Amino acid sequence: MTFDLRERIDHSPMTRYQWGAVAICVLLNVLDGFDVLVMAFTAQSVSKEWALSGSVLGLLLSAGLFGMAAGSLFLAPWADTIGRRAMILLCLVLASTGMLLSAISQSAMQLGLLRALTGIGIGGILASSNVIASEYASTRWRGLAVSLNSTGYAIGATLGGIIAVVLQTSYGWRSVFLFGGLCTAAIIPVVYLRLPESIDFLLERRPAKALERINAFAAKVGQDSLTVLPEPRAKEAAEGGSKMRALLAPQQRRNTLLVWSAFFMAMFGFYFVTSWTPKLLVEAGMSANEGVTGGVLLNLGGIFGATLLGALSARFALKRVLIAYMLVAGVLLTVFVPTTATIVLAFALGALIGVFVNGCIAGLYAITPSVYAPAVRATGVGWGIGIGRIGAIASPIVAGALLDLHWSPAQLYVLVAVSFGLAALAVSRLRVERTEVHTTATTEVSLTTH
């Protein structure tokens, strides 16, 4: 019996097996959240031990971001060739190796290179895990499934700070890298044994035993098995053409450039907010402790922001929810600094900003897979994230330069508000080809977003 298994998955209720695959992707993002920020957690101790200058420490803090950009741009696209699951396993080996060797590094140069290696692995994991979470979710719950990944990232970053404090106090900064490396290595057998390969990849690329693997998955989610493989839907898969040429082909170029613009602007704003808020709150008149508290509240808000976006996208078109998030984030950033005269109000707004700016990134992760065909999906997501990382790298540089030009905190936040507004404009022009379906107990309403 042949039928469109992809359509059946899209329109059927989510099974425990599918949620299990999503849960593994979330766990991967929890580890990534820890691994990405481990340098920030240990920066003071590392700097003290090796007597590092501010510029050298800044390079160490940036090395992971550079690695993540490289992993997203140049490693993640290979997931469309070797498979999403295979790419995640490879990247887990890279990330765990980088973390474990960081624990025994003997110089800033060694640590910087190992941070870049870790970042390369994380860049590949983020792109591939978001694609798998998207492809194994039904249409109704796809936004939530991908948004939960971003929640995992925020949870990993938050818990990482707590764990780092405990470990450094007792065992020194190297123990933090050792802990992260061991946890990352420990999930490799979990992924190997429990995370299925992408159905879309198996249908389009047809690796060895593709039919048997597809039917094994179909049985686990209560679907009928296939007798033969259907014809690939995407010509790119059959022709084996260049993935980058496909992204920039005339019919896809507009969407690709819009995705890149949205990622660049949103991540520029996101990393400005998360990196500079504590310092700029102090500049605006708060005490150092109050500035740190504001930064913590912002991160805590982020844990709820991605989950809320996913829940909303189960009832409303994801594109509209994401645009609303970006516009609300812009408004909140515009009024944030003037509220610092009232601490309670400033903290409340800081938490709300965390909700919306984190939700913006989660929404971009969720909507981007629906822009691309399966044959180039990991490439599209990887390049979107990679371009976003360039915005993340540029953000602190631009902010620092503007501060040197005597820009006020209020002016900087308005600038970032504009960046979210431009991201919203880019998303509003996206053409999302796949159908978003919202199901109630008695009806199914199909809404196509353009």
pLDDT category of residue 182 using cuts at 50, 70 and 90: very high
What mean pLDDT is predicted for residues 202-218? 80
- Rounded Cα gap, residues 278 and 288, in angstroms: 8
* pLDDT given for residue 337 in this prediction: 81
Whether the per-residue pLDDT at 275 is higher than 90: the answer is no
Contact (Cβ atoms closer than 8 angstroms) between residue 270 and residue 357: yes
- Number of Cβ within 10 Å of residue 181's Cβ equals 22
User: For residue 440, what are its two tokens?
Assistant: 């109630």
- Mark whether 348 and 228 lie in a shared domain: no
DSSP string covering 182-240: HHHHHHHHHHHHHPPPPHHHHHHH--TTHHHHHHHHHHHTT-PPPSSPPPPS-HHHHHT
- Mark whether 309 and 409 lie in a shared domain: yes
- Mark whether 28 and 177 lie in a shared domain: yes
* pLDDT given for residue 236 in this prediction: 45
**In this predicted model, what pLDDT tens digit does every residue of 137-160 receive, in sequence order?**
888 888 788 778 777 877 887 777
Residue 91 lies in a domain: yes
Lowest mean pLDDT of 4-8, 403-407, 427-431, name the range: 4-8
**In this predicted model, what pLDDT tens digit does every residue of 414-434 receive, in sequence order?**
999 999 999 999 999 998 754
Q: What are phi and psi of 330, to 5 degrees?
A: -60, -45
What mean pLDDT is predicted for residues 166-190? 92
Decide: residue 215, CB within 10 A, 0-12 exposed, 13-18 middle, 19+ buried: middle
- Mark whether 167 and 285 lie in a shared domain: no
Domain that holds residue 162: 5-233
Residue 159 lies in a domain: yes
What mean pLDDT is predicted for residues 38-49? 82
Contact (Cβ atoms closer than 8 angstroms) between residue 449 and residue 432: yes
Model confidence pTM above 0.85: no
User: Where is the domain boundary, 208, 233, 258?
Assistant: 233
Amino acid at site 64? G
Residue 239 lies in a domain: no
Contact (Cβ atoms closer than 8 angstroms) between residue 363 and residue 36: no
- Number of Cβ within 10 Å of residue 239's Cβ equals 11
Domains contained in the chain, number:
2
- Mark whether 151 and 43 lie in a shared domain: yes
Tell me the CATH number at 142: 1.20.1250.20
**In this predicted model, what pLDDT tens digit does every residue of 316-375 receive, in sequence order?**
888 999 999 999 999 999 998 888 778 788 888 888 898 899 889 988 988 998 888 877
Whether the per-residue pLDDT at 237 is higher than 60: the answer is no
**In this predicted model, what pLDDT tens digit does every residue of 65-104 receive, in sequence order?**
889 888 888 888 888 888 889 999 999 999 999 999 999 9
For the CA atoms of 179, 113, 101, 58, the dihedral, rounded to the nearest 10 degrees, stands at -40
Residue 238 lies in a domain: no
More confident call, 392 vs 279 = 392
- Rounded Cα gap, residues 353 and 305, in angstroms: 9
* pLDDT given for residue 226 in this prediction: 75
